[in-house]
Amino acid sequence: MTETPKPSDETTGLPGLRTWRRVYAFVLITFVVWIVLLVALTKAFS
């Protein structure tokens, strides 16, 4: 039985977000979405 090799530091090991650049882009997009939702909440109920 062979052991599954551990992912190296260069790969993220995340499905769909295989490079660090994609992980950082995902974090920033999530952040922007949060800001937009919070601004919308502020505008809608002020």
Partner 1 sequence: MNGLDYAILLITILGIAAYGTWHTRQRHTFKTFLKGSGDTHWFVIGLSVMATQASAVTFLSTPGQGFQSGLGFVQFYFGMPIALIIIAVVFLPIYRKLNVITAYEYLGQRFDMKTRLLGAAVFLLQRAFGAGLTIYAPAIVLSKVLGWPLHATIIGSGIIVIIYTATGGSDAVNATQKYQIGVIFAGMVAAFVLLWVRLPAQLTFSDTLTIAGAMHKLEAVNFSVNPGNRYTFWTGMIAATFHMLAYFGTDQSQVQRYIGGSSLRESRLGLMFNAVCKIPMQFFILAIGVLLFVTYQFERPPVFFDQVAWHERAAQGQKEELQNIENKFAVAHEQERQQLEAWVEARHKADPAAESAARSATMEASAQVESIRKEARLAVDPHGKREDTDYVFISYILDHFPHGLIGLLVATFFAAALSAKAAELNALGSATVVDFYKPMVKTNASDDHYLKASKLFTIFWGCVSITFALCLSLAENLIQAVNIVGSLFYPVMLSLFVVGFFVRRIRGTAVFWGALLAQVVVLALFFTVPGDRLSYLWYNVVGCFVCIAASFILQKMLRPASANSLS
Contact set with partner 1 (CB under 8 A): 6-9, 11-14, 20, 23-24, 26-28, 30-31, 34-35, 38-39, 41-42, 44-46
State in angstroms the smallest separation of the CB of 3 from partner 1: 15
Residues 18 and 12 sit within 8 Å (Cβ to Cβ): yes
Measured CA to CA, the distance from residue 1 to residue 4 in angstroms comes to 10
State in angstroms the smallest separation of the CB of 2 from partner 1: 20
DSSP codes of every residue in 9-22: TTS--BTTB-SHHH
